[in-house]
Structure 1
Amino acid sequence: MWIGSTLAGIGGQLTVVTVMLHVFTLTQSTFAVSMIAVAGLVPMILAGLYGGMLADAFDRRRVALIAATVTFAATTLLAVLTWTGTETIWWLYGLSMTIAAANSVGMATRTAIVPRLIAREQLAAASALNGVAFGLTVMAGPALAGLLVALTGYGWTYTIDVVLMLAMFLGLWTLPSLVPEGEVVRPGLASLADGWRFLRRAGNIRMQFLCDILAMTFGQPLVLFPALGTVILGGGAFTTGILTAAVAVGTFGSSLLSGRVVQYRWHGRGIERAVQAYGLSIVLFGAVLLIGSFLSPATEKAPNVGLIVAACLALALSGACDNVSSIYRNTMMQAAVPDAMRGRLQGVFIIVVAGGPRVGALYAGTLATFTALWFPPLLGGFLVIGLVALLARRNPRFAAYDAADPVP
């Protein structure tokens, strides 16, 4: 499953970045790029909630296979439309929404599967291994997307994603049947209400959700990358890919060196400190862009290499910090939540993880439209640091969370 998810994830990142570049080419608007994320938010939320209920009611292997089939079909249609020259911005929005919804179901289900395959003491190491996979996908995918779009166009990039998606089926087919343990509640309002009642009692789980929402809402500058490759930094589509890959370099490196991170027991305290360090890295990224705004404008053929390197270092630090937080958040979710409730809580968790960046895209895209490209990350990083400190002060039990005695 890990190998299949990794290969399919590389293809998925190809499509994510290519759709962004495609929309920017059609509209020349950063706001239009940000609306890709916003358009997929509601379908993703509904699919995540319902997908979590499905994962708690039916064979999780089968649910994951159906979700992968929907993603595969939508990506194939995207490639066909592009090759035939019939794609429009509305098709790009619609298929992105479909892929986001299907991925939301698939991610919630696959994550709920992991604790059934390994022992509890291995969960933190498994989360670090997923960080390696994420680092590989986001390092390879965006860089390849920028290169392929520049050299061959959009059609080939979407087509390669279609081929790589086949690996997901191989990984899922090898799993055994995985019916949820404990009391099964059929999908519906009763199941959803049962999950929300559990979440109301789970103060530590709520706190980690809030920390991640703050980080992704105010500290996610991804939507700005296409414009940065055109104006402040230069380099065009290739710079967009390099900036996105820089985040993954930090994720990948911190996963490879995560031995001491995995051994640290106080996961609540680890999340708090990692998210605040993430906010600081985003402040540094905004400062690099601010400096660049006072220099001579860069172009696609004459990029500012020094600024690009500095921006990449700040983004790599953000990826490392986010990954440390992710290791602790995933482990807390998988260890502290009972199996019969795990799908529904993973659905909410995926909504937070994937929905936060989409709200962040709206924040960054809108604010950049009315101010400057450097302003959203600079302001947002400071907001992350301050708001997480305030939350931690109001929730002292979170810092006392002990992985040896997981309490939701």
Structure 2
Amino acid sequence: MILARTLIDVRPLRTSPAFRRLLIGRTVSVLGGFMSMVTVMYQVWDMTHSTVWSGAVGLAQALPTVLFGLFAGSLADRGDRRRIYLANTVGQAVCALLLAVQGFTGRVPVAGVLALVAAQSGFGAVAGPAAGTFVPRLLPKEQVAAGLALNQVSFQSTMLVGPALGGLLLGWLGVGACYLVDALSFAVTFHSAVGLPELQPEGEPSRAGLNGVLDGLRFLAGHRVVRGALITDLAATVLSMPMSLFPLVNAERFGGSPRTLGLFLSAVAVGGVTGSALSGAATRWGRSGPVMLCGAATWGGALALFGLTTSPWAGMGLLALAGAADTTSVISRGTIVQTRTPDALLGRVTAAEQIVGQAGPNLGNLRGGLVAGWTSGAAALVSGGLLCLLAVVFVGATTPELRTDADR
């Protein structure tokens, strides 16, 4: 009985056929997206052998979300979110098909490839806030956390499997075939959502243009719990994101073996999958605030200890713990956003959460690299982890609602 309550809560799969279809479609699409990510990185490097162009791939993927995300959220709060999601899924599929065509022909310059990647990311930036409103409309409030946990375990699992499948398919069939698989994955996503009912915002629709965006920002500034949740995420990512430090720490502490480096990267993902799979107790408890704060604090503490360890096995254990804690914190933060935000504002708040998720890790990796350049990789890890801990303690101390209130 205790084990059953610890395992991930699968009630949403039984009670909501619409959620079940969406989860399947999302899983297939994200799997195709990770395969496509490996493909574009490989293609750009093969075309240019330039780290500058390779780095530009990440910029092409992230910049549309940061630039257009809040306006996309305002759009999602003005019209039928189902139609917005379907239209932009078609846009993503068309971009993937064009990438497949250029992959088969090899006649598009690297700038054209990146333009298609940016266009696909732009459609995704609009679809994301609309999709972020689906779970609380399809599930009863007491199952929202469980639904988000199922989404998270799907994402973490595809993150483990997708790049490897992409590499295999690249070797067997080439660049064009990988992009074509991504395009077909959007067809599954479209089919999973086309049967949804009309999903108009509940309440007063968003005002047009900048006014609607400013209304969303005013809500974020004034709602202490939702604001605290997003600040906690920023603390965890900007202050202590470790990925850029792994190669340096591996060389400083563990002999620089590429196998060790790969295991460090995998350990975080394995911890994330495990944390999602064992999220049942946290999602059933109904107190997302304390769970989120504890998860973010554990993430920072585990990374600080990783910066001190000299044992690769202990290091992998700490990274797995960090990955599990981060996933638990992400699920809890999403639950807070979904249950505390009025439906009429949910598209804009989801867009802000999406931007934090895109920008935070990139800024965190930059911060880690700069601090490591002044000191060492270990010092950057330890200081980042401790700063994260302090920031989480500050958020908890100044936002008592996060420490005490149950999900409502």
Structure 2 letter corresponding to 1:232:
G
Q: Equivalents in 1 of 2:147, 2:315: separation in Å?
A: 30
Taking only aligned residues, the RMSD between alpha carbons, in angstroms, comes to: 3.2
- Matched with 2:330 is 326
Do 2:60 and 2:121's aligned partners in 1 also have CA atoms closer than 8 Å?
no
Q: Equivalents in 1 of 2:124, 2:246: separation in Å?
A: 23
Equivalent of residue 359 in structure 2, options 330, 333, 355: 355
- Matched with 2:344 is 340
Whether 1:173 aligns to 2:194 is yes
Q: Equivalents in 2 of 1:393, 1:317: separation in Å?
A: 24
Whether 1:234 aligns to 2:258 is yes
- Matched with 2:393 is 389
Structure 2 letter corresponding to 1:90:
A
Do 2:75 and 2:206's aligned partners in 1 also have CA atoms closer than 8 Å?
no
Greater shift, 183-192 or 37-46, is seen at 37-46
C-alpha displacement at 1:181, in angstroms?
A: 1.3
- Matched with 1:12 is 33
Residues 54-113 of structure 1 deviation map (CA, whole Å, 9 limit, x = unaligned) = 111111111001221222222222333333334554345433333333222222111212
Structure 2 letter corresponding to 1:177:
E
Do 1:38 and 1:362's aligned partners in 2 also have CA atoms closer than 8 Å?
no
Pairing 1:109-120 to 2, within 5 Å after superposition:
109-120=130-141
Do 2:202 and 2:343's aligned partners in 1 also have CA atoms closer than 8 Å?
yes
Cα 1:275/1:56, change in 2 over 3 Å: same
Structure 2 letter corresponding to 1:380:
G
Q: Equivalents in 1 of 2:373, 2:116: separation in Å?
A: 25
Whether 1:66 aligns to 2:87 is yes
Structure 2 length as normaliser, TM-score?
0.81
C-alpha displacement at 1:11, in angstroms?
A: 0.8
- Matched with 2:236 is 215
Pairing 1:38-117 to 2, within 5 Å after superposition:
38-86=59-107, 88-117=109-138
Greater shift, 262-271 or 243-252, is seen at 243-252
Cα 1:221/1:17, change in 2 over 3 Å: farther
Structure 1 letter corresponding to 2:256:
I
Whether 1:400 aligns to 2:404 is yes
Residues 368-408 of structure 1 deviation map (CA, whole Å, 9 limit, x = unaligned) = 678776665454333322332233333333322321xx3xx
Do 1:21 and 1:226's aligned partners in 2 also have CA atoms closer than 8 Å?
no
Equivalent position SS for 2:197 = coil
Q: Which runs of 5 or more structure 1 residues have no equivalent in the other structure?
A: 292-305
Do 2:74 and 2:212's aligned partners in 1 also have CA atoms closer than 8 Å?
yes
Structure 1 letter corresponding to 2:97:
T
Q: Equivalents in 2 of 1:379, 1:158: separation in Å?
A: 41
Q: Equivalents in 2 of 1:365, 1:73: separation in Å?
A: 37
C-alpha displacement at 1:123, in angstroms?
A: 0.7
C-alpha displacement at 1:45, in angstroms?
A: 2.1
Structure 1 letter corresponding to 2:279:
S
Cα 1:261/1:163, change in 2 over 3 Å: same
- Matched with 1:144 is 165
Q: Equivalents in 2 of 1:91, 1:181: separation in Å?
A: 41
Do 1:15 and 1:145's aligned partners in 2 also have CA atoms closer than 8 Å?
yes
C-alpha displacement at 1:150, in angstroms?
A: 5.8
Q: Equivalents in 2 of 1:117, 1:279: separation in Å?
A: 34
Do 1:104 and 1:351's aligned partners in 2 also have CA atoms closer than 8 Å?
no
Pairing 1:195-210 to 2, within 5 Å after superposition:
195-210=216-231
Greater shift, 149-158 or 203-212, is seen at 149-158
Q: Equivalents in 2 of 1:225, 1:142: separation in Å?
A: 19
Structure 1 letter corresponding to 2:190:
F
Equivalent of residue 384 in structure 2, options 371, 380, 383: 380
Pairing 1:289-308 to 2, within 5 Å after superposition:
307=312
Equivalent position SS for 1:182 = coil
Q: Equivalents in 2 of 1:227, 1:145: separation in Å?
A: 27
Structure 1 letter corresponding to 2:184:
V
Q: Equivalents in 1 of 2:271, 2:74: separation in Å?
A: 34
Q: Equivalents in 2 of 1:147, 1:218: separation in Å?
A: 35
Equivalent position SS for 1:57 = coil
Structure 2 letter corresponding to 1:123:
V
Equivalent of residue 270 in structure 2, options 249, 262, 280: 249
Do 1:24 and 1:226's aligned partners in 2 also have CA atoms closer than 8 Å?
no
Q: Which runs of 5 or more structure 2 residues have no equivalent in the other structure?
A: 1-21
Q: Equivalents in 1 of 2:56, 2:49: separation in Å?
A: 12
Residues 241-274 of structure 1 deviation map (CA, whole Å, 9 limit, x = unaligned) = x765543332222222212111233322221110
Equivalent position SS for 2:337 = helix
Equivalent position SS for 2:144 = helix
Cα 1:224/1:173, change in 2 over 3 Å: farther
Structure 1 length as normaliser, TM-score?
0.81
Residues 340-389 of structure 1 deviation map (CA, whole Å, 9 limit, x = unaligned) = 11111111111112221232344456666787766654543333223322
Residues 297-341 of structure 1 deviation map (CA, whole Å, 9 limit, x = unaligned) = xxxxxxxxx95x766544433321111111211111111111111
Equivalent position SS for 1:179 = coil
Q: Equivalents in 1 of 2:304, 2:178: separation in Å?
A: 33
Greater shift, 16-25 or 163-172, is seen at 16-25
Number of equivalenced pairs: 383
